[in-house]
Amino acid sequence: MSFNINGAHFKGVSTLGSSMPEAGYYEVTGLQVEYKAGDKADARRFHVELPNGFKMFEFLHLPVEGLPEKSFKGRVAAMKTILASFGFSNEEIEGGEISEAWFTSATNGGRKAYVEFVPGQAGVQGSYARINKFLTKEQYEKAIASGAKPTAQANNGGGASRPAVPGSVPAAPSAAAGAPVQTVAPAPAGGLRLPPPPAVGVAR
């Protein structure tokens, strides 16, 4: 007998055998940006896939009207860091209309991003796989060449040191790890209005 399964059920599901990678620096594919019922209205789930097929997501926190200036600028900076990791220039970012399509490899011209990844620690409650940083391609190549490896201890906020990549900027923490790191970037005049939940896969 034949069967039919809605492809949406396969979104965000890793293939069998695609176990959590070891700590390191990886090129990742942007899969989708998603709003799910129960998420905060200004948060979107940014799904990525690592080279071995392992999938995870980070929360994107949108810069919306009514935020304190520091928080607004921090959210803009966190999003700009990810866009720079995809290879977008300042001119493209500042002259464009940023949407979820910029974060998805299928709709951004096949661009991929570069990350510092730390797996969760087996048997440690509250320890989750996370992306510590989004890197530019140049920063990624320098990290690979240096042989540096992020330490698993850094995952739980215990203060453990990890090799620094010159010029890298901390990224928005993973789904289980809170809000993005607050860094400074110019805030657009008047702020941004909160968009509706995005339609995944809409091309620019």
Residue 6: inside a domain: no
The answer to whether position 77 is within a domain reads yes
pLDDT value at position 4?
A: 75
Q: What is the pLDDT of residue 125?
A: 59
- What DSSP string runs through the chain? ------GGGGTTPPPTT-PPPPSEEEEEEEEEEE--TTS-TTEEEEEEE-TTS-EEEEEEE---TTS-HHHHHHHHHHHHHHHHHTT--HHHHHTS---GGGG-TTTTTS--EEEEEEPPPTT-TT---EEEEEE-HHHHHHHHHHT----GGGGGTS----PPPTT-EE---BTTS-SPP----PPPTT--PPPPPP-TT---
First to last CA, the chain: 41
The residues that bridge with 47 in the sheet, in sequence order, are 32, 57
Question: Residue 72's pLDDT is what?
Answer: 96
**How many domains in the chain?**
1
The answer to the question of residue 165 being in a domain is yes
The answer to whether residue 96 is domain-embedded is yes
In a domain, residue 158? The reply is yes
pTM of the predicted model as reported, rounded to 2 decimal places:
0.69
What's the pLDDT at 19? 78
Which domain, by its residues, includes 26?
A: 19-170
Q: Please give the average pLDDT of every successive group of 10 residues along the chain, which has 204 residues.
A: 72 63 96 96 97 94 96 97 98 96 97 95 70 96 94 45 39 40 36 42 38
Q: What is residue 116's predicted lDDT score, i.e. its pLDDT?
A: 96
Classify residue 188: in a domain, yes or no: no
Residue 180 inside a domain? The answer is no
pLDDT confidence of residue 11: 61
In a domain, 73, yes or no: yes
**Can you give the pLDDT at residue 48?**
97
pLDDT given for residue 128 in this prediction: 81
Tokens in use for 14? 């890793």
